[in-house]
Structure formats: C-alpha cells, structure tokens
Structure 1
Amino acid sequence: MSADGMNRRAAIRIAGAAGAGTVLAACGSSDSDDTSSSGTGTATTATTAATSESSAASDSSGGDAIAKAADVPVGGGVITDTYVVTQPASGTFKAFSNVCTHQGCKVAEVVDKAIKCPCHQSTFDIATGAPTGGPATKALAETAVKESDGNIVKA
C-alpha cells in the first residue's frame, strides 16, 4: 500500500471522529442554559401550520397579527414562526419566544397546559413561560400581546 493510501485513510478516520464528536456535543447535556445556539428542533404540530397563514394578517391599528384568536384553544396554544401563543384562561392571551432556554431548540407543541421542547424534554407553563420540567432553568421570554379584531397582536 502506498503512503498516499495510508494518508487518505488516516484523514478519513480523523474527519469521521471529528464529525462524531460534533454530533455528540450537540446532543450533550449542559448545566447552563444557552440561548446563543441555533435551534435544531424539527418537530412540528398541526397548530403550527394553522397559524402560519395568520402571521401575515394585520389588525386595524396596522400591526402584524401574531395569530388568530380563534386558533388558540383555551388551556393550550399554537406555535408560530417566532412565538408560542397561549390562552391559559378564556380571553387571556400570552406570547412567549418559541426558542427553548436550555440549548436553543425550537419548542414543538403545546399539550396538557405545557409548552414542550423536543430536544431535551423541557416543559414550560403556558401562563408564565416558567420552566416546569426538564433541564431548562430559565423562563421563555414573554412578549406582551392583546386581542384586536380577532387577532393576537403585540400590545
């Protein structure tokens, strides 16, 4: 076997080991909450698709609608491109960042009065955005919202 063949094999082994290390590091646990990493969560819910269309709508004051109020179930929520919009009690709407505070994954669903992240199973309260389980220790960032003409808009 030539020296070139050995060098090529060694390079492939090194590249493979480096790639595996990167994958393991991305899935690894962390004691600190890191919101600077980009989200890699790919799970979606039916509610995400339902609100994608409403994110382009406008309310009467000219602001962009985050979601349609009718799409946000009482005790649940919907996920848009940027926010998780919830309705913890009838007529009370909340909006939080859809980026998990643990390692920056996008949250994937709102079930059983909890916002859930698929990456490391962190859960957040739909009324406060506070962590209720998993490795996340910081609340989701909240954005003040109100209902206007059937749309949820920034307050």
Structure 2
Amino acid sequence: MTDTTPAPSRRTLLCCGAALAAGGAAVAVTGCGSSTSSDSGSGGAAAAPVTVGAVADVPVGGGKVYREAKIVVTQPTAGEYKAFSAKCTHAGCVVDEVKDGTVNCPCHYSKFAVADGSVKDGPAPSPLPAYRVTVKDGAFEVTK
C-alpha cells in the first residue's frame, strides 16, 4: 500500500516540531495553524476601539507606529487617516518606521504604501490589514 499523504512543508516542520515532540499531532495542528484573516476575528462582536495617540503626531504624507498596540496610523493626504496592523505580513515583525511614503519593516525590508497598506517592496506577500480609524477629541481611535 502506498502512502499518498503529502509531505509537510519546511515551515510546518519548523513551526510544529516542538509541539510534535511534546505531545503529538493533535497539539501541532491546533498550535501551528496559519490564518489569512485580519486580526479582528470572526463570528463575534466587533472589538472595542483603542486610543493610540494624538492627531498632531501623524504628519501629512507620513505616519506613526504605535508599537505597543501593533498599529500604524498614516495620513496620506491632509485630513485623511488610515490605520493598519503594524505586523508585517511576511514574518510577523512589527514595522518600525514610516518614511518617504512607505511603512517599513526592519526584519526583511518589506515596504507598504501609506495610502492603502499595499506592498511596495517585498518579500511581504500581502498588504497590511486595514483597521477602522476615527478621530475623537484630537486622538485616534482604532478598531481592529
């Protein structure tokens, strides 16, 4: 009888190796799954907004990384604000700067557009997930 089960990928082996050694395949499957959805979850109520910083901190054409909240807020044009996950879609590193119209990741140098979070330079495979941003009392409220 021939085994037709596909071989696991290198990423699966790296991610799940410790889990397999510690407790078997069931642990590995639940502990190492990947997700392509945004950080907002599914099936439940929307998350409460989080206040991340002052509107005055985000220059036109630039942005600011709120590292603790893992959120980046940009202002592509005057009075237009955008919010995105600050986790790079390549390896999950937190982006560290907004400069020259891009949000930049320090780990593998991916760059994302301030206007829409799209990939401007790889290796990131997909845009930064967008969040809802509003201004209240001079501060940004972001809903994931």
2:23 match: none
SS at match of 1:144: strand
1:14 match: none
1:106 match: 94
Q: Which has the higher strand share?
A: 2
SS at match of 2:116: coil
Runs of 4+ in 1 over 2 A off after TM superposition: none
How many residues align? The count is 98
Question: Residues 99 and 68 (structure 1 numbering): CA distance in 2 closer, same or farther, change over 3 Å?
Answer: same
Question: Residues 70 and 140 (structure 1 numbering): CA distance in 2 closer, same or farther, change over 3 Å?
Answer: same
- What is the CA distance between 1:146 and its match in structure 2? 1.1
1:1-155 map, 5 Å: 64-80=50-66, 81=68, 82-154=70-142
Query: Percent identity over the alignment?
Result: 45
SS at match of 1:85: strand
Q: Which has the higher helix share?
A: 1
Q: Tell me, which stretches of 5 or more residues in structure 1 are unaligned?
A: 1-21, 23-35, 37-61
Normalised TM-score (structure 1): 0.58
Instruction: Quote the RMSD (CA, aligned, Å).
Output: 2.3
- How far apart in 1 are the matches of 2:141 and 2:50? 6
- How far apart in 2 are the matches of 1:100 and 1:141? 9
Q: Tell me, which stretches of 5 or more residues in structure 2 are unaligned?
A: 1-13, 15-33, 35-47
